[in-house]
Amino acid sequence: MLRAADEYSSEQIRKWLDKTILGIRERKIGREQLQHATITLSNFGAIAGLFATPVVTPPQVAIVGAGRIMDKVQIREGQVVAIKSLPLSITFDHRACTGGEAARFVKALSMHLQNKR
């Protein structure tokens, strides 16, 4: 679990994430190290899911679910182009934030994933 994430640079978060993913794949990170997060990421796309409705359990405030990346067609300036699309789902606790705050978070996450900050 990444604590005090606001104190990390994007590069430091990337390093932490890479190290954590490697630890999970090598089964060197225990379940207890991944519990009690404020925001959880669920990757149900790895098993072909697109969207989900994850359940928030305290002390979590939100769960962001990543679906399977898929090819889509989009029209840009009158031209049909193929794009990659990553479906995102979010469940959040209304006691912790408003729908507007959650929507702004998802928008910022989406822009970051597209490198359009």
Enzyme catalytic residues: 94
C-alpha–C-alpha distance, residues 52 and 91, integer Å: 9
Phi, psi angles (nearest 5°) of residue 19: -65, -40
Q: Report helix, strand and coil shares of the chain as percent, to nearest 5.
A: 35, 25, 40
